[in-house]
A and B are shown apart, each in its own frame.
Chain A
Amino acid sequence: MATSLLDRFKSGLWYDNPGLVQLLGLCPLLAVTATFVNGLGLGIATLAVLIASNTLVSATRRWIQPEIRVPIYVLIIASLVTCIELIFKAFFPDLDRSLGIFIPLIVTNCAIVARAEIFASRHAVGSSVLDGLVMGSGFTLLLMAIGTFREIFGQGTLFSRMDMLFGGEPVRGIVLAENGWLLLVLPPGAFFTLALAIAAKNVIDRRRKESRTTIPRRARTLNR
């Protein structure tokens, strides 16, 4: 398996994006993305858990009998999430209050156990860390994209409450409008936004496929 680094990133961020293509971990994805900062915060927490769990699962893969692998994944992931929760409470208390129950609920994000089972249990530590990084980044970017969209159109702002991550006084962010389209902030807005994102990805993929088959023909006619 000699896939290049670029291909691995393409896969995690686009072709096999955990949220957009595999549709894993939708509960936190839909629940916290009302603003950019919430999406980014949960994304970073998930990314950290995913890298750490891939590392541990991969490092212990030779000693783990197949029949007890699932309880062990659950143990590892649950402990890591608890650690991340404690770290958030200690260093980003405001963000922790804003994300509330969704930090501990990372434990139920099936994207993480899926990567442990599909990838980390079968590959070397280095490769598994990279897998955690690309898959986690894909998930984080999707959370950020949906958070950006919902915040701009739902609330009329962007980057509000960034102080929760970086400290300082509470900020309202870039105010683009006094009000937004309320529906987008409410839970149904999350579903609509995700649907739009998936549709957009499919459209882009199809365009690229079509252009790949038509451009050479056009190139030929130009050469003549």
Chain B
Amino acid sequence: MVVKLADRPIWKSGVTLAIIAGVCTSLVAFTWQLTADRIASNKREWLERSLQPALAGLFFDGSVTESMITIAPPHELPGSEAAIIYRVYASEEPVAALFVVSARDGYAGPIRLLIGITMDGIISGVRVLEHKETPGLGDRIETTKSDWVLQFDGHSLKDPEAAGWAIRSDRGQFDQLSGASVTPRSVIKAIKQTLTWFEANSVAVFAAPAEVEDGTEEDNK
């Protein structure tokens, strides 16, 4: 039995729907045309820009993101996923390496860190890229919330010595965050581990061929 919806035949509704769908699709396609280039350049720019803070005070040239390599797990760097390294040059001489690694034992999941280390093994900057720490307590590792993460600038494995790489309440040299001790401990441990790894592998890092940055890292978030 045919249920009659209206006086109009149903194919007319179908045609209306198809026309509107066509118009809407064109609208999206048109907007995409207008914005695609800008979105792609925004992505590249954002990546470059988010890497800059870890290179404070260093002279370098060229695009940092073009010299990326990834180290697949298992590796000796912090984190269970692939580690990303951007190599920084000045007049084709290695200047520093930027590490994107994960501190695994944060209070609430891994903390994604950006760590810049010069060829002399000195920290040029640390930034937190991603984390799930408690708002108001552990999230003060972000630069927008406090300056905590800036205290590592200029330090190396020799300054302080091994035992000093801890928060003060653990007899270390670095400030803690009141109300959150798991977070700073895990960040400090990851930084120290990265410094140690780079000291042993710096030649191999700069010998490896560069990979093509396709922006998938950002999309995977």
Contacts and interface: CB of A to CB of B under 8 A. Distances in A.
* Bound pair (A, B): yes
Interface of A: 60, 63-68, 71-72, 75-76, 78-80, 82-83, 86-87, 89-91, 93, 154-155, 160-161, 170, 172, 179-180, 182, 185-186
B220 interface: no
B16 A90 contact: no
B168 interface: no
B17 interface: yes
Interface string B1-43: 0000110100011001100110011011001101100110011
Given A75-B20, A89-B42, A93-B46, A83 B135 contact: no
A65 B31 contact: no
Contacts, number: 74
A91 B38 contact: yes
A71 B134 CA distance: 42
A52 B219 CA distance: 29
A76 B143 CA distance: 41
A90 B20 contact: no
Contact of B38 (A65, A68, A72, A90): A90
Contacts of B13: 65, 67-68
A86 B32 contact: yes
Nearest to A181: B136
B21 A75 contact: yes
Nearest to B20: A72
B24 A75 contact: yes
A151 to B, nearest CB: 12
A83 B38 contact: no
Contact of A82 (B5, B31, B39): B31
A68 B32 contact: no
By Cβ-Cβ distance, the 5 closest A-B pairs, closest first, are A79-B24, A90-B35, A90-B38, A83-B31, A182-B136
B144 A67 contact: no
Interface residues of B, number: 28
A107 B161 CA distance: 55
B21 A87 contact: no
10 contacts: A64-B20, A68-B13, A71-B17, A79-B28, A86-B35, A86-B39, A87-B31, A87-B35, A91-B38, A186-B135
Given A68-B16, A82-B31, A185-B135, 10 more contacts: A68-B13, A68-B17, A76-B24, A86-B32, A89-B35, A90-B34, A90-B42, A93-B39, A182-B136, A185-B136
Contacts of A65: 6, 8, 12-13, 16
A177 to B, nearest CB: 11
Most B CB contacts (10 A, CB to CB) among A63, A89, A172 go to: A89
Given A75-B20, A82-B31, A172-B144, A67 B5 contact: yes
A83 B23 CA distance: 13
Contacts of A155: 135-136
A71 B42 CA distance: 34
B16 A63 contact: yes
A161 B20 contact: no
Most B CB contacts (10 A, CB to CB) among A75, A83, A170 go to: A83
Nearest to A82: B28
